[in-house]
Structure 1
Amino acid sequence: MLCFVIVSLLGVCTKYISASEDFPSLISANASLAIVLDKEFLAEEYAETLESIKEYMKELTREQLKHGGVNVHYYSWTSISLKTELSAVVSIASCDGTRQLLASTRAQRVALMSATTADCPRLPPPGAVAIPLMDPGQELPQLVLDMRTAKIVDWKSAVIIHDDSLSRDMISRVVTAMTVETEDKSVSPIAITVFKMKHETDALLRKQEIEKTISKFRPQFNGENYCVIASTDAMTSVMEVAKEHNMVHPKAQWLYFVSDTNSKHDNMTMFSETLGEGENIAIVYNLTVDNDNCKRGFICQSKELLKGFVLALEKAIIDEMEVAAQVSDEEWEAIRPTKQERSSSLVQQVQSYLETYSICNNCTSWRMRSADTWGSSFQKNNSSLSKINLLQVGYWRPVDGLRLVDQMFPHISHGFRGRRLPVLAYHNPPWADLTFNDTGYITEHKGLVFDIMNELSINLNFSYFIVSTSFMIEDNNTMDDSSDISSDLFKKMMQEEIIKIIEKRGILLAASAFTITEDRKTRVNFTMPISIQPHAFLVSRPRELSRALLFMSPFASDTWLCLGFSVILMGPALYMVHRLSPFYDVSKKKRGGLSTLHHCLWYMYGALLQQGGMYLPEADSGRLVVGTWWLVVLVVVTTYCGNLVAFLTFPRQEAPITTLRELLQHGATITWSLRKDTYLDDCLKETDQQKYKDLYSGAILNTGETSESIMKVRDGTHAIIDWKINLQYIMKTQFLKNDKCDYALSFFSALLILVIEWWCRRKRNKLDNSAVKPFTN
C-alpha cells in the first residue's frame, strides 16, 4: 500500500512538473509577445515603424483584449534568445532573418508570424506564417515559387518561353524560383531551358517569330513541360503554332502566365475555342486592381498580423475559460493545450483572419484556370459536358498564397474525371464477345479486350458503354451486315469502317483486335500489341518409316556399294600377291587353297562376315594383305552394329516439312491453301519475289477450313496456311475428336519477312506520292 501511494505521488508530481515546464495557462498569466523589427533591414524606416507599431499595439490591446493581457517585448535584430514563456513572435525582417527566427521559434515551439521580402519561400505549417511583400508587377517569381513549393507543378524539367516584354532581372528571378533548393527535400529543383522571342504587334510577324522559336525545340531532350510567359495575343499564337508542331498532346503540360490582364480585362473564354481533345493546358492570369486606394507596405501588413494575433489570443482565452469552468483544476492541468498546440491554433486563427479581412497588399491577385478537355468531344448527350470549359482552379494573393479548389492539371491527376465514354466494338470472339437482345442492343460483353478496357477505365478514371458497329455503320449507310461475303472480308471491311468512324471523332476508341498496317498507323493510334500472331502452315505429322529393310539402314546405298566393290577388288589382289610371292619357290612349299581366284574371293567375303577361311597364306606378303583386310572388317562391322542398335531403338521418321522452300519442293505431291480476302492474301498478291509468286499461284483460295481439307492434311497430301492460333485451334479440335495428334506446325518466318517488306514498300510508295500530292494526317 505504501509503494502504491509513493508511485501515485510520483506520477502526480511528474505531471505537474511537466505542466510547469510548459508556458503558463492564459487564465493564470498574461500572454507574452515578441516583436522583432530588424533594424539593419528597415534602415531609415526603423524608427518610424517602431513608433507606429508601439502606438498601434497599445490601442489594440485596450480595445480588443477584454479578458486578458499581453506582455510585449521589442527587439531590433533577429539573433535573439527567445524566452520560454513566449506565446508568439511577430517580425519584420529579410528572408534570411526570417529563416533564422524560424529555427529559434521551432526549438521553443513558439508561433512565428512574419512580414518579409519577395521571392522568399513560405514558412512551413504548423506554427508559422510568412507574408512576402512586393511592389505591383513584381509578384510573378513569388507566384512561381509558391506553386513549386506547394508541388502544384511537380516537374523534373521544363522549357520557359517568354517575350521581350519581361526584363532580364524578372526572368532571372523566375528561373531562380524554379531552381532554388528549399528546406523541403521532396521538392526537387527543375532543370530549365529558356527561349526568348520578340514581341511583335503584327499577327503574321508574331506567328513567324513564335514559329522560329518553337522550331528550336527538341522534346526528347527538353522534356514535355512548357511554361509560357507572354501577353494575351502572343499566348493565342503560341497555342496555334504548338498544335501545328504536334507538341500539344496528353503527355505534354502547358502552363501559361498572362501578364497583361487586370481586374477589368479577365475574359479567358476566348481561349477555349482553340482547345482540343486531350490537351493539358493551365492559364494563370493577373487580376491586379491598380488604383490609389490599395494599401501596402510593411507597417500595414505588420498591423494586420498584430490584430489577427490579438483577436486569436482573445478567442483562445475565452475558450480556455469556458473549458476550465467545467472541470476541476487537476483535470484542467491535464487537458489544457500544450505549447505546440497553442502555437498552431494561434497561427491558424491569424491565417483565417487575414484570408477574410485583410486589405493590405490584396489589390494584387492572380487567378488560375485549367482546361477540361479529356472526353469532352464524346459527351454528345450532355451539352454542358461536350463543351470544353476552363475550370476555376484557384487564386493567389501575397497574404494567402495559393488557394486551390482543383488540380492545376486535372487530367494528369484524375484522368477523364469520371466521364462516361462510348467505346466501339464488334462481335469477334475470343477478343470481343458480344451478346445482343431481340432489339439488337448489347446486353453483355466479355473477352480479352474488355478485360483490358476495365483496367484502363480504373487507371484513367472513366466508365464506358459499348456501341455496336451495326448501329454506327447503319447510320453511315456504308455497309450491310447481312451481305453475302466471307467472314474475313467482312472483318476487314468492318475494321476499315471502324477506323473511318474514329477518324471522324465520333467515338473515343475501338475495343477489338486489329491487324496493324503502315497505312492504318498514319490514320489512328494503336495500343501496344497485346498479341502478335505469326503465320504458319499445318501439315501431317511425320510418320514412322517401314522396318522391312531395316538391316540396310545403318549404311547408305553408296556405302554398301563400296563394300561390295572392295570385296570384289580385294579377292584378286590377294590372289595376285599370293601367286607372285617368291616365298613358295624358295621354300618348296605348296601354295595351298589360295592359289585359285574363287578361293580368295570366298576368303575375303567370309572375313567380312567374321567367319574366317580354311586356307591362310604362309608368305608375309599374303599375311599383310589379309591382316589389313581384317582391320577394315573390324571397323566396318563395329560401325554397322552400333548404328543398327540405334535404328532399332529410335525408329526413323519421315522428313518433316518445316520451311517454305521444302513446301514448294513437295509441290508435286502436296497442295496448299490459304484464306482469301485476308491481309496475307493481299500481301502475296503484290509480291515481286518469285518464290512467293509460286506459293500464291499454287495456292487454293477458300473462305475457311473444311473437314475434307483437314482430312487431306492428315493424309499428308495438303497443307493449310493461316495464323498460328487458328491452326492450333484446329489441332486441339481434332485431338479432342480422335484422341490422336496427327498434325504438326511449321513456323512461317519467311512470310513475316515478306509482310514487313510489303509494308515498307507501300510506305515508300506513299512517300513518293506525297512529293506530288501533300499528305495530310
Structure 2
Amino acid sequence: SSPMTIFNRTFSNKTVILNGMAVDILRYLAEKLDFRFITKDSDDGNWGSPQADSEFYNGCVGELQRGTVHIGAGPFTKTAVRDRVIDYSTALFQESNGILVPKPERESRLWNLFMPFTYKVWLTIIGTIVGCSLIAWLFAFFSPFSAFNLGADYAVADEVWLKEYLWSCIGSFLQQGQDFYPFAMSARAVLASWWFFIVIIYAIYSGVLTSFLTVTVTKYPIKTLDDLVTQTAVTPYVRRGTNLFDLLSNAQSGVYKQLAEQVVLYDPDVESCPSNPPRADQACVEDYSALLAIALKNCTQYYVANEQFNTGTIAFMFPEDAPYAEFV
C-alpha cells in the first residue's frame, strides 16, 4: 500500500519491483547488515489471517511461517493474533484505518441567486412586502390628510388603491423606485421605513451572495464511521486478510458489528478499491495513509473522511525466533 510499498512491476512468479518507504528501509538495512534481497508479493494477495483447519496463516504471515520469505516488509499492523506465530521488528509508526469516499457531485450554481437567505427568510420577506403594502394602504385610505380624502385638485386615485402600494413595495424591493408618493405623512412614514429595511437587506444579501459566487461549498455526507454505517447509498469495501478484516470477523457488537454486516469483502487479485473507473457507490475502508495518497492524487474524485479508527503499530515481520531479527 502506498506510500509504504509502490508496485512498479509484477512478474509471473510474484516477484515485484518496488519503491516506497519499505524498500528504502530494506536498502538501508542491506547496506548496514551486508545482505541482498529480492522482493515478492504474497502468493494469495493477502496480508495474513488464521485459516480454519490449518496451522498456517494465509498471506505474508503464512509464507513467513513456512520459511518461504525471511522478512515481511510493508505496512503490517501488530496484532495479538499474528504475534502468536511470528515476531515483529521495532515499531515504525502508528497507522489508523480511514474511509475513502467518492466526492458528491457539485450542486448546480443556477440557484445560487437564492442561496444567501434560507427559504424561511425569503418567506418572511414576501410576507413583509404584503404586510407593508397593506399597512401603508390602510393609513392612506383612512387618513383624513390624504390628498384623495381632502379632495385636492392634484389627488390621484392611486393613493387609495391597494394594488398600487403592493406594486410600489415590490418595485422598491427590486431597486426600481415607485411611481407615486402618498400625500399623508403616516403612509409616507411606512414607505420610508420600508426603504430603510430594503437598504439593510440588500447590504446583507450582496455580501453573502459574493461569498457564495466566489466559493462553491460541497457538503460531504460521510465524515465518520457512524455516518458510513447509517446510510445505504455507499457500500463499504474491505480487503480480505487485513487487520481490519480480522477485527470485523470477530466483532460482536457496536459500530464494527454494523460495518461487518454491510461490508463487501474483496480479494486484491480479483478487484480493487477504488475501482477503475470510479464508482459513486463504493467506499474503501483501509489504511489511512494509503487512502490519503489516493485522495491527494485524485482530489477531484475522492475525499477521506475526518475520522480515523482502529489505530495500531506498523512494523516489519520475521519468522519466530529468527536470528537476524534482533538487528532490525
Q: TM-score of the superposition, structure 1-length normalised?
A: 0.32
Q: Does 1:624 align with 2:189?
A: yes
Question: 1:602 and 2:163 equivalent?
Answer: no
Q: What is the identity percentage for the equivalent residue pairs of Structure 1 and Structure 2?
A: 21
Structure 2 matches for 1:294-309, cutoff 5 A?
A: none
1:522–1:455 distance in 2 versus 1, CA, 3 Å: farther
Deviations 1:118-150 (A, max 9, x none): xxxxxxxxxxxxxxxxxxxxxxxxxxxxxxxxx
For the 8 Å contact 2:98–2:304, the answer to whether it is kept is: yes
Instruction: Write the distance in 2 (CA, Å) between the matches of 1:608 and 1:748.
Output: 43
Question: Which of 733, 736, 744 lines up with 2:302 in the alignment?
Answer: 744
Out of 450, 454, 464, the position equivalent to 2:26 is 450
| Partner SS state of residue 721, structure 1 | strand
The corresponding residue for 1:565 is 127
Structure 2 CA distance for aligned equivalents of residues 519 and 707 of structure 1? 26
Structure 1 position 724 matched with structure 2 position 312 = no
Which residue matches 1:677? Answer: 241
Give 1:719 shift.
1.6
How far off its partner does 1:707 sit? 6.6
Contact in 1 for aligned 2:237/2:283 (Cα 8 Å): yes
Change (3 A) 1:625 1:454: same
- CA offset at residue 546 of structure 1? 1.8
Matches of 2:112 and 2:133 in 1, distance apart? 28
Match of residue 692 from structure 1? 256
**Separation of aligned partners in 1, 2:89 and 2:237:** 32
Query: For residue 271 of structure 2, what is the amino acid of its counterpart?
Result: T
Give SS of 1:635's match. Answer: helix
Structure 1 letter corresponding to 2:141: R
**2: distance between equivalents of 1:535 and 1:703?**
18
- Following superposition, the deviation at residue 634 of structure 1 comes to 0.8
> Any gaps of 5 or more consecutive residues in structure 1?
1-428, 439-445, 458-462, 470-480, 757-777
Summarize the Cα distance change of 1:466–1:652 in structure 2 as closer, same or farther, 3 Å threshold.
closer
Please point out which of 427, 430, 435 is paired with 2:5.
430
Partner residue in 1 for 2:46: 487
For the pair shown, the structure with the greater C-alpha radius of gyration is 1
Higher helix share: 1
Measure, in 2, the Cα distance between the counterparts of 1:468 and 1:569: 79
Contact 1:431 1:512 in 2 (8 A): no
Per the TM alignment, residue 544 of structure 1 is displaced from its structure 2 partner at its CA by: 3.3
Matching residue of 2:209 = 644
Q: What is the rounded CA distance, in whole Å, between the counterparts of 1:543 and 1:703 in structure 2?
A: 29
SS at match of 1:752: strand
| Residue matched to 2:89 | 527
2:73 alignment partner in structure 1: 512
Q: Secondary structure at the match of 1:535?
A: strand
- Structure 2 CA distance for aligned equivalents of residues 652 and 466 of structure 1: 50
From the superposition, tell whether residues 701 and 494 of structure 1 become closer, same or farther in structure 2 (CA, over 3 Å).
closer
Residue aligned with 2:110, SS: coil
Cα offset, 1:467, TM superposition: 11
Distance in 1 (CA, whole Å) between partners of 2:274 and 2:253 is 28
How far 1:552 sits from its partner (Å)? 1.9
Provide the secondary structure at the position in 1 that maps to 2:199.
helix
* Separation in structure 2 between the aligned mates of residue 683 and residue 690 of structure 1, nearest angstrom: 12
1:570 aligned counterpart, secondary structure: helix
Give aligned pairs, total. Answer: 287
Query: Equivalents in 2 of 1:743, 1:432: separation in Å?
Result: 22
- Secondary structure of 1:512's counterpart equals strand
Return the alpha-carbon distance in structure 1 between the equivalents of residues 39 and 279 of structure 2: 43
With over 3 angstroms needed to count, the CA separation of the structure-2 counterparts of 1:556 and 1:725, relative to structure 1, is: same
Pairing 1:294-693 to 2, within 5 Å after superposition? 430=5, 447-454=23-30, 457=33, 485-489=44-48, 493=58, 495-497=60-62, 510=71, 512-513=73-74, 514-519=76-81, 526-584=88-146, 588=150, 592=156, 593-655=158-220, 657-667=222-232, 669-693=233-257
Moved more, 446-455 or 620-629: 446-455
The answer to whether the 8 A contact 2:273-2:284 is kept is no
Do the aligned partners of 2:49 and 2:242 also contact (CA within 8 Å) in 1? no
Q: Which residue type is aligned with residue 743 of structure 1?
A: Q
Structure 1 residue identity aligned to 2:128: S
Deviations 1:52-104 (A, max 9, x none): xxxxxxxxxxxxxxxxxxxxxxxxxxxxxxxxxxxxxxxxxxxxxxxxxxxxx
Query: In 2 relative to 1, CA 579–731 (structure 1 residues): closer, same or farther, beyond 3 Å?
Result: closer
Q: Secondary structure at the match of 1:583?
A: coil
> How far is the alpha carbon of 1:675 from its aligned partner?
1.0
Amino acid across the alignment from 2:302: A
Distance 1:511 1:432 in 2: 15
Looking at structure 2, the residues matched to 522 and 708 of structure 1 have their Cα atoms a distance apart, in angstroms, of 30
- How far the C-alpha of 1:608 sits from its partner, in A, is 0.8
Inter-partner Cα distance in structure 2 for 1:468 and 1:619:
94
Paired with 1:729 and 1:682, the residues of 2 have a C-alpha distance of: 24
Q: Distance in 2 between matches of 1:663 and 1:589?
A: 73
Q: Is the 8 A contact 2:100 2:304 kept in 1?
A: yes
Alignment root-mean-square deviation, CA: 4.3
CA distance in 1, matches of 2:304, 2:179: 59
Q: CA 1:708–1:553 in 2, change beyond 3 Å: closer, same or farther?
A: same
Q: Note if contact 1:685-1:696 (Cα within 8 Å) is conserved in structure 2.
A: yes
Q: Is the Cα–Cα contact under 8 Å of residues 659 and 746 in structure 1 kept in the other structure?
A: no
Alignment partners' CA distance in 1, 2:164 and 2:102: 53
1:528–1:583 CA distance, 2 compared to 1 (3 A): farther
Deviations 1:252-300 (A, max 9, x none): xxxxxxxxxxxxxxxxxxxxxxxxxxxxxxxxxxxxxxxxxxxxxxxxx
Other-structure match for 2:266: 702
Amino acid at match of 1:512: A
1:584 Cα offset (Å): 4.1
Distance in 1 (alpha carbons) for counterparts of 2:254 and 2:83: 29
CA separation of 1:676 and 1:525: change in aligned 2, threshold 3 A: closer
TM, length-normalised to structure 2: 0.68
1 CA distance for matches of 2:165 and 2:39? Answer: 92
> Is the alpha carbon distance of 1:499 and 1:559 closer, same or farther for their aligned partners in structure 2, counting shifts above 3 Å?
same
